[in-house]
Structure 1
């Protein structure tokens, strides 16, 4: 039976929260302004970066030229509980006074967790959701400047950090509004050297974070226009941004869309893609962007088929299709086709390539059903529907 969700203006009282960084600097070449941005910050800076020292070394040089002392911590893969504890211990031993993090979502999530744990007593597990006690932070994190190097997760403007627990084989969040970085610097020029496969997965991650808040069960009216603008920019710039050399205007669009997607994720509900992605990523270690890329069209198709024709959410899926195709007559299913085409054209791996098989389904169904993101999906999905989704992405 089609599920009816009619959200009409004036029927439901308006109610929303809004959380974002106190300062966002956006623009090409703005990485050179880091000295002025940090002029009033303390001297001892913990720099958190990815595996490549070459990529982070120009930032370290800039900091040194502006009178800062630095200590480098490199993130090895997606952030885990032991990795965060290690970084916090090093930061305390070195007496860090602030953090500058430059990298993708893993780097930025780890940096947010380190900034928070540095100022608060106890172990990380005490503050984590699901597997921990979920204790609130008592003290503000030390100052954090976040510089994203991919157009994807929007982690630079969100107030959670996703952490993997090897012991529990699950990804969980450290979540608190105080986790939002104090400052964010987004320089689209940084995206020019991102590998194509990373750019594809990251871009579809951002796309998911725009579509799910816009089509969730209770959209945020402040977030809605951000989602539409982000979807428009991705529609026109996703493919040009993947050319090498990339179109600078397209990179700017993708960087801005990723920013909007992070603001949307932080301030509205999500849906089944993220509800399934958390347990799946924790179980098999699949990159989050790849999971989103594969799940998004399948979940959208399931939702579209379940919604009644007069549903506001179905009309939003239709609007997304119209934006993606450039045709006023486009139907919701054409948005699914557009995403499928991107995923197949750029050979995004199927999740079975990472070991996903039906034996994992009971665990994933049980965990996904309890995920907070699943509660935002515009239609209720039971165990059978979740298994059908998983079967299609093997």
Structure 2
């Protein structure tokens, strides 16, 4: 049994740990570039805390999901400000952007030199500038991963800048920062967290440590996502979801993901649909198609039993099987009002004519390498057709 497990140098978790996190961050240098989402006011406690500890800060807001241009602008701003370290505070977009900026602050060139699939894929040679991740949503787990997902508008795709050098120096996970999340954001980020615990558990690169972490994340998400959605002020439910998100990040960083994220990276680059919505819509469909493909092509695969275990964790029924797990996820998505990928919510949304291009790009995605087995173009097209 051989495997590697890597994560952030230090993780602080729990209600109120933001203050301890600011203390720790203040020891990284005298100047910080603070990357946020568009609502910069959420970073005021951090900025005030850094100032009180003698650290100057410069705010760099990210509008929407980060792309290569925004990262280049962030690197230029960090250099102009002479930032000693970078903080990403916000959802996955702010954290991924901060992670990429910290990496390119110490490595020459631009993002396309290092990006997977559509870039040149060169390895980062130097460790990133110290990076601190402070999530304010519970979903992406980006605070403990070694990659940053960036949009490449020219290619209409989202791909990763990935390196062990990009693991954060410090992750500060304070569930109290998620109490104000609206229901729709709670649903989309929470379903992303659930997906990121489930896919590594059935990944062909799973290992005993990621298994244990994924089980814990699935348990917490199963018992608390509905509650966090309907009663956002419930601190216990928010704590469970923050832990589920952290578990998902730890698991995916060390065991990969699967077809849900293989498709989601492409769809997110082509359409203005939130990543969590895409994952939620695809998850039960990918589960069902994976199970059918395993039964047809790999009937002796031990991963089929893992789907049974997932069902028992999600439903709380010791007699549940994989089909019950699929039904449970479908019911959860309905309860959380997850829209279809072709819904009028999105302009444009996914259409039938787009499916061949999505499939072709998704087959080259790095996430597909963790799926329980390779899916055919026809199977991926079926998943997308049913997600409309």
Report the TM-score, using the length of structure 2 for normalisation: 0.95
Structure 1 gaps of 5+ residues are 1-13
Q: Does structure 2 conserve the Cα–Cα contact (< 8 Å) formed by 1:240 and 1:246?
A: no
> 2:301: which partner in 1?
311
> 2:46: which partner in 1?
59
Alignment coverage as a number of residue pairs: 381
> 1:72: which partner in 2?
59
> 1:10: which partner in 2?
none
Report the TM-score, using the length of structure 1 for normalisation: 0.94
Q: Residue deviations 1:263-287, cap 9 Å, x none? A: 1110002211011111111111321
Structure 2 gaps of 5+ residues are none
Q: How far apart in 1 are the matches of 2:155 and 2:294?
A: 36
Q: Does structure 1 conserve the Cα–Cα contact (< 8 Å) formed by 2:36 and 2:61?
A: yes
Q: Residue deviations 1:342-389, cap 9 Å, x none? A: 211221121002321111111111111122221221132111111100
Q: Which residues of 2 match residues 75-94 of structure 1 at below 5 A?
A: 75-94=62-81
Q: Does structure 2 conserve the Cα–Cα contact (< 8 Å) formed by 1:137 and 1:176?
A: yes
- Which residue among 335, 351, 368 is the counterpart of 1:374? 368
Q: Does structure 2 conserve the Cα–Cα contact (< 8 Å) formed by 1:98 and 1:144?
A: yes
- Which residue among 199, 202, 205 is the counterpart of 2:186? 199
- Which residue among 68, 80, 88 is the counterpart of 1:101? 88
> 2:215: which partner in 1?
228
Q: How far apart in 1 are the matches of 2:144 and 2:112?
A: 23
> 2:382: which partner in 1?
388
Q: How far apart in 2 are the matches of 1:292 and 1:97?
A: 36
Q: How far apart in 2 are the matches of 1:372 and 1:100?
A: 27
- More displaced, 92-101 or 234-243? 234-243
- More displaced, 87-96 or 373-382? 373-382
Higher relative contact order (CA 8 A, sep 6+): 1
Structure 1 vs Structure 2 CA RMSD:
1.3
- More displaced, 229-238 or 27-36? 27-36
Q: Secondary structure at the match of 1:133?
A: coil
Q: How far apart in 1 are the matches of 2:378 and 2:23?
A: 55
- More displaced, 120-129 or 295-304? 120-129
The Cα shift of 1:245 comes to 4.5
The Cα shift of 1:15 comes to 2.1
Segments of 4+ moved more than 4 angstroms? none
Q: How far apart in 1 are the matches of 2:163 and 2:112?
A: 14
> 1:129: which partner in 2?
116
